[in-house]
Amino acid sequence: MIVLILAAVLGAASLASAQTTDLPTILVTRQLAERERLAVGDTVQLAREADGANPGTFRIAGIYEPVPDPMRLGQAPLEIRLHLPDLQGLTRNPATPVGAERVDQINITLVDPADAEQFADDINGRTAGVFAMRATDAGGSRETFLVLERFHYAIATVTIIAATVFLLALTIMLVDERRETVGVLRLIGLPARRILMQVFIEGVLIAAAGALFGLLLAIACESLLNRFFQWRYDTALVFVRISPRVAATCVAIAVPLGAAATVVASWALLRRSGLRLARR
Amino acid sequence: MSALPSSTIVEATSVTRQFQMPAGPVFAVRDLSLTIAAGAYTAIQGPSGCGKSTLLHILGCVDTPSSGSLTFDGQDVARLRDHARSLLRLRQIGFVFQRFYLLPMLTAAENVELPQAEAGVSKPTRLERSRELLEYVGLAARAGHRPSQLSGGEMQRVAIARALANRPRLLLADEPTGELDQATGEHVAALLDRVNADGTAVVVVTHDSALASRARRVLTMKDGRIDRETTA
């Protein structure tokens, strides 16, 4: 079944008691069904014109959750899906001969989305006058998301740099609080390398624990944030996703950074003599 | 005090320690030569600022002379890298300070155990050694107490036990009775006598004449130099 998305609802009215089995069928979005209190099996009338003239009668065969579109965030997807002949019959100008209609755009779902590029090349090579492209490339949405992605990278980079400075300052303060202990250890005869190694191990453990805590917090918040915004915008769009790759990246950045901050802070301390440190 | 000086442990030759200060260089120790023999008991006296503690720190390899040479067991300390110097301190030299410098988060036994652990002593051996040492300083019953739960005299005795943990050849004490009352100071002084009698060379820096008088050799410093030396 080739399905077209009708962007606007032409008109809808429930005809609950009509004999419906031989009527053409449509699918309606969950949002539209909720707003108009429609249910599977209901019949509705759709018209091309806003005044409802020349309506067609259809039976609702199903209610579907539309594919979330971040480009239309905040707009309730009040849509229906019709079979192509029904759409043509509904929208054709009576003066237009059958077969002379024009279709601007068709969305095609492939079994394997990874074939999209190959499929588009195939279509473009075979059919003159048809231009196929990936849905994500259509309407400039990809460029929009590239800009957004770069913006996110910029925010992430600034956040990491600021967090590193903060972490280093915090670590220097924490290490400085232990200067007397470090001084005593140096006086007893612990080599600087040995203390540095201990501090490094401590730094790695604390950073790993911190990263783990951060991940658990993010995972806990992931569900809450998604639920809130999905409720707020009435969409199935996923706003936050902590994927294994994201988690691994976080740990890969946090642990070396935490350990390095601890070692840098400790190194500054260990360059001083044990006596000066112990005397405070 | 049965042990007698025999072989040399530390030898300082023409040692000078100079500190750069905003008002100009200050000489804490000037062209000083000194030998500490195994089993010796030496006290260093003198007015404040005469360089006693600086000399002790140089002898203990925690400070480096600006000029001159220092040998420990025949090794030129200046040629040792930081790691080797640290291990020398860990295994051959025990330090006792006026302010004890015990680690507050560790118990008395753990404080004594720490240098042994760092020296690679096995757990059962160091537990036994820590128990022995705390018994030696009369604090076996306080093994599980943290420094904050101990009196000043008790803390100093734990510090002495810690200093002896790796059976050092040289024990250096910087004003060990400086923060203690007379009776407690006497107790600590008697303990140092006993340590020396058991064969460890002791060098003590002190203002306390009573403590200094226990040593067989008393050096009096003035302006960074040894002004007078008396031998019992």
Per-residue pLDDT tens digits of chain A, which is 280 residues long: 333 344 334 444 444 444 557 899 999 999 999 999 999 999 999 988 888 888 889 999 999 998 888 777 888 889 999 998 888 888 877 777 777 777 778 888 899 988 988 998 998 888 888 888 887 766 655 666 778 788 888 998 898 889 888 888 888 888 888 888 888 888 888 888 888 888 888 888 988 998 899 999 999 999 999 999 988 888 888 888 889 998 898 889 888 888 888 888 888 788 877 777 877 5
Nearest C-alpha in A relative to B86: A189
Residue B103: both structure tokens together: 């680690």
Q: Do A191 and B83 touch (CB under 8 A)?
A: yes
Contact A42, A3 (CB under 8 A): no
Q: Do A191 and B95 touch (CB under 8 A)?
A: no
Find the CB nearest A193 among B83, B114, B162: B83
Task: Give all strands of the β-sheet with B217-222 in edge-to-edge order.
Answer: B93-96, B170-174, B201-205, B41-45, B217-222, B225-231
Q: How far is A206 from chain B (nearest CA, A)?
A: 19
Q: Choosing among B59, B61, B86, B98, which should be mutated to test the A contact, i.e. which has the most A CBs within 10 A?
A: B86
Residue bearing tokens 């915008």: A233
Q: Do B97 and A273 touch (CB under 8 A)?
A: no
Q: Is the pLDDT of residue B83 over 50?
A: yes
Q: How far is B14 from chain A (nearest CA, A)?
A: 23
| Residue B89 host element (H or E) | helix B82-92
Flag whether residue B87 sits within 8 Å of chain A, measured between CB atoms: yes
Q: Which chain A residues have a beta carbon less than 8 Å from that of B117?
A: none
Q: Would you tell me which residues 158-217 of chain B have a C-beta closer than 8 angstroms to some C-beta of chain A?
A: 162
Q: How many inter-chain contacts (A to B, CB under 8 Å) are there?
A: 52
pLDDT at A131 (0 to 100): 86
| Residue A251 host element (H or E) | helix A244-270
Chain A residues contacting B, CB < 8 Å?
A: 180-181, 183-194, 273-275, 278
Contacting residues for A272 by C-beta, under 8 A, at least 6 apart: none
Taking CA atoms, B132 is separated from B26, B31, B103, B113, B126, in Å, by 44, 42, 20, 11, 10
Q: Choosing among A188, A275, A279, which should be mutated to test the B contact, i.e. which has the most B CBs within 10 A?
A: A188
- Core vs surface per residue A117-136: b (16+ CB within 10 A) or e: eebbeeeeeeeeeeebeebe
Biggest distance spanned by C-alpha atoms of chain A: 101
Kindly list the structural domains of chain B, giving each domain's residue range(s) and its CATH number in brackets, ordered by start. 8-224 (3.40.50.300)
Q: Do B102 and A187 touch (CB under 8 A)?
A: no
Flag whether residue B19 sits within 8 Å of chain A, measured between CB atoms: no
Q: Do A181 and B88 touch (CB under 8 A)?
A: no
Rounded to whole angstroms, the Cα distance separating A275 from A86 reads 91
Contact B3, B194 (CB under 8 A): no
Rounded to whole angstroms, the Cα distance separating A218 from A248 reads 13
Flag whether residue B80 sits within 8 Å of chain A, measured between CB atoms: no
Nearest to A84 by CA among A63, A101, A97, A71: A101
Number of other CB atoms surrounding residue A224 within 10 Å? 10
Q: Which chain A residues have a beta carbon less than 8 Å from that of B169?
A: none
The sign of the torsion formed by the CA atoms of A35, A37, A39, A41 equals negative
Q: Are strands A25-29 and B8-21 parallel, antiparallel or unpaired?
A: unpaired
Nearest C-alpha in B relative to A184: B101
Measured in residues, chain B has a length of 232
Q: How far apart are the first and last CA of chain B?
A: 12
Query: What angle separates helix B152-163 from helix B182-197, to the nearest 10 degrees?
Result: 10
| Residue B220 host element (H or E) | strand B217-222
B229 pairs with which residues across the strands?
B219
Mean pLDDT of chain B: 92
Supply the pTM of this predicted model: 0.67
Type of residue found at A107? N
Over the stretch B124-160, which tens digit does the pLDDT of each residue have? 999 999 999 999 999 999 999 999 999 999 999 999 9
Q: Do A275 and B83 touch (CB under 8 A)?
A: no
Q: How far is B46 from chain A (nearest CA, A)?
A: 21
pLDDT at A9 (0 to 100): 42
Taking phi over 0 as left and psi of -120 to 50 as alpha, with beta for the rest, B117 belongs to alpha
Q: Do A184 and B162 touch (CB under 8 A)?
A: no
| Residue B15 host element (H or E) | strand B8-21
Type of residue found at B9? I
